[in-house]
Amino acid sequence: MNFIKIFAPATVANVSCGFDSMGFAVENVGDEMTFTKTSEKGVKITEITGANGLTLDPTKNAAGVVALAMLEQHPVDFGIEMTMHKGFSPGSGLGSSAASAGGAAYGVNQLLGAPFSDLELTKFAMLGEEAACGTPIADNVASAVFGGFVLIRSYEPLDIIKLPVPDELRLVAIHPQIEVKTKDAREVLPTEVSLKNAVTQWANVGGLVSGLHSNDYQLISNSLTDVIVEPARKHLIPHFDLVKSEAIKAGALGAGISGSGPTIFAICQGDDIAKKVHKAIENAYSDKKIDFNVFTSKINTDGVKTITSN
């Protein structure tokens, strides 16, 4: 294989109760990236479209850092040239750097003859996350690489559990056009958690995992509660409480902050409810003098995928 074009999905991390430990991939929002073998060794990023302000320097770009690390661990007698078309903005809370990092891990792996497992690709992609936001968080990158819902059961050693996705689950998300940097959103987090809140949170993670396994939408709904991170971060997102309550009033199973925000996600059962929630969220923001974008999507169960190769 000399060339590959791939799709790298946007991802929703945390999913309310699972801060840094749960996430899922989005079906119809993501980046396209190309990877071409070159006779000159090394990594070159030749073009980034669809977003401003991202560096072409492979030692600083999330995708470049991943590609360089992979070539260092698996030396070859060719180089790799990359292009990226961003389908959504950095700083949206939809895992922009994770899509670049996870996409690079997948694309480079294919050109190398696929020596690395998905778990190893996630570890490489975490280096890209670290370059982009200062912390090697796994929830977005694992969701992008594995697809579907994932649970990061352990960071050391890294252990990723792929969870089933009930057929009727739909995502409705609103991206207010403001930027929240993950680094800043991590600075407002509490450094200590009460035992009472910890019990609530881990019980809900258990409930969510069980609900996904048993297609129990009511249990999923009951478990989409975050008593630790959402209260500390929601002031960063204008009209968060209104959007959340309107989404739930319109029938959503639950709603919360997507990753570190500002995107707000709602999870729904079925297309009809998703349509109502989409409308309700749109209405809630329509007179707020902040540009926004609302979309509805299925859950992507494949993760990063090949569009074409030769």
Binding site for ligand HSE (CB under 6 A): 13-14, 19-20, 137, 139-140, 182, 185-186, 259-260
8 A C-beta contact, residue 128 and residue 66: yes
- Residue with the two structure tokens 């302000």: 53
234 phi/psi in degrees, rounded to 5: -65, -20
- For the CB of residue 95, give the shortest distance to ligand HSE in the complex, in Å: 7
Nearer to ligand HSE, 233 or 278 (CB): 233
Rounded to whole angstroms, how far apart are CA atoms 47 and 37?
15
Nearer to ligand HSE, 81 or 139 (CB): 139
- For the CB of residue 253, give the shortest distance to ligand HSE in the complex, in Å: 20
Rounded to whole angstroms, how far apart are CA atoms 310 and 56?
25
Active site includes 182? yes
Number of DSSP helices (H) and strands (E) in the chain, helices first:
10, 11
Point out the catalytic residue in the list 129, 246, 263, 296: 129
- For the CB of residue 93, give the shortest distance to ligand HSE in the complex, in Å: 7
Nearer to ligand HSE, 36 or 61 (CB): 61
CA distances from 151 to 48, 148, 159, 255, 283 (A): 31, 10, 8, 19, 33
CA distances from 171 to 209, 231, 250, 256, 274 (A): 17, 22, 14, 11, 7
- For the CB of residue 92, give the shortest distance to ligand HSE in the complex, in Å: 11
Q: Is residue 170 helix, strand or coil?
A: strand
Active site includes 34? no
Q: Is residue 54 helix, strand or coil?
A: coil
Nearer to ligand HSE, 13 or 43 (CB): 13
Nearer to ligand HSE, 80 or 259 (CB): 259
Point out the catalytic residue in the list 11, 36, 182, 263: 182
8: which 2 tokens? 């790298």
| Catalytic annotation, residues | 129, 182
